[in-house]
Structure 1
Amino acid sequence: MMQAFSTWLATTELGHYLLECEQAFFDRAVADIFGFHAVQMGLPEVDLLAANRIPWQCRAAESGEAAQIICQPAQLPFESRSLDLLVMPHLLDFTTEPHQVLREVERVLVPEGRLLMTGFNPVSLWGVRRLIQGRADTPWRGNFFPLIRIRDWLKLLDLEPVAGCFMAYAPPVSQHDWLERFGFLERAGDKWWPLAAGVYGIEAIKRQRGMRLITPKWKAAKAAQGLVVAGGNERHPTHKQAATPAGERETAKNDHARSAGRGGTDRET
Structure 2
Amino acid sequence: MIEGLKRCQINDIRERLRGWYNRPLGQALLQREREQLDSILPTLFGYHIVQVGCLLGDDLLAGSRIRHQVLLDADSGGETLMPAAYAYPDAMPIESGSVDVVLLPHTLEFERQPHQILREADRILIPEGHVVVLGFNPWSLWGIWRLCRCFSGKAPWCGDFLSLTRIKDWMALLGFDVVLVRRYFYRPPIQRVGVMKKLAFMEKLGARLWPRLSGAYVLVARKRVTTLTPIRPRWRPRRTLVGDLTPTTRSRHSHV
By the TM > 0.5 criterion, same fold? yes
TM-score relative to the length of structure 1: 0.76
1:200 maps to 217
Residue 204 of structure 1 aligns to a residue whose secondary structure is: strand
Distance 1:230 1:68, change over 3 A: same
> What is the letter of the counterpart of residue 31 of structure 2?
E
Runs (5+) with no aligned partner, structure 2: 1-12, 240-256
Which of 24, 28, 31 aligns to 1:17? It is: 28
TM-aligned CA deviation for residue 188 of structure 1: 2.3
Report the counterpart of residue 156 of structure 1 in structure 2: 173
Per-residue deviation at 1:21? Answer: 1.0
Aligned equivalent of 2:151: 135
Structure 2 residue 106 is matched with structure 1 residue 90: yes
**What letter is aligned with 2:144?**
V
Q: CA RMSD in A?
A: 2.0
Q: SS state of the match for residue 181, structure 2?
A: strand
- C-alpha separation in 2, matches of 1:173 and 1:228: 71
Query: Partners in 2 of 1:28 and 1:186 — Cα distance?
Result: 18
Q: Which has the larger radius of gyration?
A: 1
**SS class of match (1:81):** coil
* 8 Å contact from structure 1 (residues 170, 179) kept in 2: yes
**For residues 45-84 of structure 1, what are the structure 2 equivalents within 5 Å?**
45-64=57-76, 65-66=79-80, 68-84=84-100
Identity of aligned residues (%): 35
Q: In the TM superposition, what whole-angstrom CA distance separates every residue of 1:176-221 from its partner, at most 9, and x where no partner exists?
A: 0111111111122221111110101100000022266x9xxxxxxx
Q: Distance in 2 between matches of 1:183 and 1:165?
A: 18
Structure 2 partner of 1:182: 199
| 1:87-129 C-alpha deviation (Å, 9 max, x unpaired) | 1110001001111111101100001001111111111000111
Deviation at 1:59? 1.7
Any conservation in 1 of the 2:149–2:158 contact (CA below 8 Å)? no
Three-state SS of the structure 1 residue aligned to 2:171 is helix
Structure-1 separation of matches of 2:157 and 2:61: 26
TM-score w.r.t. structure 2 length? Answer: 0.80
Is the Cα–Cα contact under 8 Å of residues 60 and 69 in structure 1 kept in the other structure? yes
Does residue 109 of the first structure (1) align with residue 120 of the second (2)? Answer: no
5+ residue gaps in structure 1? 215-226, 233-269
Structure 1 letter corresponding to 2:177: E
Q: Which residue of 2 aligns with 1:36?
A: 47
Q: Provide the aligned length of Structure 1 versus Structure 2.
A: 218
